[in-house]
Structure 1
Amino acid sequence: MSTVSIEATSSHILDNPAWAALTGPHAHFAERVGRAARYPADVAPFYAVSDLDDLRAWADLASLVGPGGTASVRGVTEAPAGWEVVRTGHGVQLVDTGLRAEHDPEAVRLGPDDVPEILDLVARTEPGPYLSRTVEMGIYLGIRHQGRLIALAGERLHPPGWTEISAVCTDPDHRGRGLATRLVRAVAAGIKERGEQPFMHARATNANAIRLYESIGFTLRRRTVFSLVRRTEAAVLEETA
């Protein structure tokens, strides 16, 4: 049984950033069936559909998720026929409205050879999902202390004109030194040099992270609800009947 995250549709591109990315700059990653798409399982745990009100998109999603599969769906409180809501959670989306972007002389670009260290830091700090090929989604920067990776931030979802800053984390023994802020600003510098705008996501319960991001120039754009939905056996039987 797979667990995935899916972005909902709206008139603004950031209301459906995963779909915009998978049908735009990240199309080379997309595993797609009609109106539904996903990243490879070792890149990111995100699925997306073109329109949550389109039952054809849900049917395509069912094909991607598979029998009994689950999906974390943005903006859905009632699932359509063939799906059930398992639980819900809350998040926030923030956009850059005044961030001072600047390169950091201590920040180094990370690549595939650094993945074991990245995964170790992520496991200890839990900034969100990070997999063996997530590093391929964009530029990831780190700061080292005596050769050991102690802070991380990088680029994840990439809708046209926007890039998400994600995986912001600092080793517990090195917090309070502003490393996260420095890396967010450094990642943002690269984003803005491409003529794009940074945005971020955070758990609504992570008040400390939200305060930090707002203090350095991000503004809350919207609050979001994520529902974990499961494809039911009924849906499987209907398809095969």
Structure 2
Amino acid sequence: MKITEENRLDNPVWNSLSENHEKFALDYNGTKFYDPAYCPFGGFLDLESTLESVEKYAFLSENFFVVGEKPKIADTLKIAKELVCLQMIIREKVQISYDNEIIKLIEEHQQELFDLVNLVQPGYFKNKTFLLGNYYGIFKDKKLVSVAGERMKMNNFTEVSAIVTHPDHTGNGYAKQLTSYAVNTIFNENKIPFLHVIETNLGAVKLYEKLGFETRRKMSFWNISKNDLF
């Protein structure tokens, strides 16, 4: 793969919705959003298009994110916060021995997966996010306690996402094993894994660096919601 193709990661939502995830796209002529049942993210090529497109999408979702540069928004909306993330990429497989059985999650696990991710990271994982890619889990006493999976997908890149562990089961290395498993599976598909992590989540950043991820750039997730004044 040519290194120059990495610039597609500079606009990950737009490029995912223009490539592998095109069927999930709502196209507003210069801005694209995921169908909100799957993912609350949008991206754009044309800054001027964001003013109208963001307002239209707000009728479908009360709380969502535009990823990348700061969008223009109408007075009826507000930017609740800017989440600054590190976009990290890994270039070779992780060498690891798996200490726990890792299960590929299927439809019967969908509700349990939804509940676990939203317990730990509420607001990002929607009812149909499960359908965007593969998800893997570790079970203890027949309960799902840790997961990792795939979210944004381009022709040559797949995002590792939803790396969460139930608070009662942290400290057992589950995130390390599941992240490694997801990464290696993506490499087996001849794609390059990447991920986003909030820059202040130093524990997670340290884990990903140990696995071989390196920071490529910072990426802003602009959280947009209704303006209470209107």
- What CA distance in whole angstroms lies between the structure 2 residues aligned with 1:67 and 1:115? 23
1:107 paired to 2:102: yes
> How far off its partner does 1:129 sit?
1.4
Of residues 94, 110, 114 in structure 1, which corresponds to 2:88? 94
Question: Which residue is 1:137 aligned to?
Answer: 132
Root-mean-square deviation (CA, aligned residues, Å) is: 3.0
Question: Which residue is 1:152 aligned to?
Answer: 147
Q: 1:49 to 1:193 in 2, by over 3 A?
A: same
Question: Which residue is 1:192 aligned to?
Answer: 187
Deviations 1:45-103 (A, max 9, x none): 11222233xx1354334333349966533454584676754433321111113551669
Task: Indicate the larger mover: 177-186 or 167-176.
Answer: 167-176
Deviations 1:95-147 (A, max 9, x none): 11355166957111112221221122223322761111111000100011121
- What CA distance in whole angstroms lies between the structure 1 residues aligned with 2:10 and 2:123? 19
Question: Which residue is 2:199 aligned to?
Answer: 204
Q: 1:106 to 1:88 in 2, by over 3 A?
A: same
> How far off its partner does 1:21 sit?
0.6
Of residues 59, 62, 80 in structure 1, which corresponds to 2:55? 62
- What CA distance in whole angstroms lies between the structure 2 residues aligned with 1:67 and 1:122? 22
Task: Please tell me whether Structure 1 or Structure 2 has the larger radius of gyration of its CA atoms.
Answer: 1
Question: Which residue is 2:176 aligned to?
Answer: 181
Q: 1:78 to 1:172 in 2, by over 3 A?
A: closer
Q: Please give the secondary structure, in 2, of the residue aligned with 1:131.
A: coil
> How far off its partner does 1:37 sit?
1.9
Q: Are the counterparts in 2 of residues 37 and 64 from structure 1 also a CA contact under 8 Å? A: no
1:45 paired to 2:40: yes
Question: Which residue is 1:214 aligned to?
Answer: 209
- What CA distance in whole angstroms lies between the structure 2 residues aligned with 1:103 and 1:194? 20
**What amino acid does structure 2 have at the position aligned with 1:62?**
E
- What CA distance in whole angstroms lies between the structure 2 residues aligned with 1:128 and 1:210? 21
TM-score (norm 1): 0.79
Question: Which residue is 1:30 aligned to?
Answer: 25
Count of residue pairs brought into register by the alignment: 222
> How far off its partner does 1:167 sit?
0.4
Q: 1:43 to 1:227 in 2, by over 3 A?
A: closer
Question: Which residue is 1:13 aligned to?
Answer: 8
Task: Indicate the larger mover: 128-137 or 76-85.
Answer: 76-85
Deviations 1:139-186 (A, max 9, x none): 100011121111100000012200000000112222222111111111
Structure 2 unaligned segments of length 5 or more: list them. 1-5
Task: Indicate the larger mover: 123-132 or 146-155.
Answer: 123-132
Q: 1:221 to 1:42 in 2, by over 3 A?
A: same
**What amino acid does structure 1 have at the position aligned with 2:81?**
R
- What CA distance in whole angstroms lies between the structure 1 residues aligned with 2:168 and 2:134? 25
Structure 1 unaligned segments of length 5 or more: list them. 1-10, 233-241
1:163 paired to 2:161: no
Q: Are the counterparts in 2 of residues 77 and 85 from structure 1 also a CA contact under 8 Å? A: no
Question: Which residue is 1:117 aligned to?
Answer: 112
